[in-house]
Amino acid sequence: MKEIRIHARAGQGAITSAVLLAMAAFEEGKYALAFPHFGAERMGAPMNAFLRLSDKEIRVRSQISEPDYVIVIDATLMDGFDVIGGLKPDGVAIINSTAKPEELNLNTKARVYTVPGTEIAMETIGRPLANTSLLGAFAAATGEVGIEAVMKSVRARFPGAIGERNAEAARRAYEYIKGGA
C-alpha cells in the first residue's frame, strides 16, 4: 500500500486532488481511499487530504503520518509547517514551486521535485489553481498512476472545456517532470 499526504490551503483543491488520484487509480484496477483533514474550517486555512493506493482492499482509515509521497499545493505552507515530516527516505515530495529542489533546503533523503504548477495552471486554465498540474507531476514522478488515467479522471470530474484545460495542465506538468526539469 502507498500512502499520500497532500498539503494545501482550504479552497486550493486538495480534496479534489485526492479524489481525482483515487479515480485514476480505480481506472487502472487499483483500490483507493481518499479523505480530508480540516483544522479551522475556513477558506485559506491550512489543511490536508490523504490518499491510500493498493492492489488489495484498504481497511486502514487513519490519517497518514509517514507517507510514501507528499504533494504540496501551496509552498507557503513550508514556512511554519513541516510538510515533509514523516516522509519515508525512499519517498517522493512534489512541490508547487518555481525554485529548484536544492534551493528549498529540505532536510530529507526523499526525492524532491518542484513544478511550476501555478504558472502551468494560469497558462492552461486561466486560474491559479495548481492542483491538476500537480497530479500530472505526481504521475510522472512516481509511476503510481498513468497520465492517461489522470487525464480521464480530470475530464470526468470537469466536463467540457474546463476539463480539457485541466487535463492539459496535468499533461504539461507530467512532461515538465519527464523532461528532467
Grid cell listed for 178:
519527464
CA-CA distance, 69 to 84, in Å (whole number)? 9
Residue 130 is part of a domain; what is its CATH number? 3.40.920.10
Quote the cell numbers at residue 153: 479522471
pLDDT of 61-114, one tens digit each? 888 999 999 999 999 999 988 999 999 999 999 999 999 999 998 989 999 999
Range of the domain at 92: 2-178
Region label for 126, one of left (φ > 0), alpha (ψ between -120 and 50) or beta (otherwise) = left
| DSSP string for 121-164 | HHHHTSSS--HHHHHHHHHHHH-SS-HHHHHHHHHHHS-SHHHH
Residue 171 has pLDDT above 70, yes or no: yes
pLDDT higher at 38 or 45 = 45
Q: What percent of the chain has pLDDT over 90?
A: 87
Domain count, the chain: 1
> Tell me, what's the pLDDT at 45?
81
Question: Which of 79, 81, 36 has its CA nearest to residue 61?
Answer: 36
At 20-36, the pLDDT tens digits run 999 999 999 999 999 88
pLDDT for position 51: 96
User: What's the mean per-residue pLDDT of the chain?
Assistant: 94
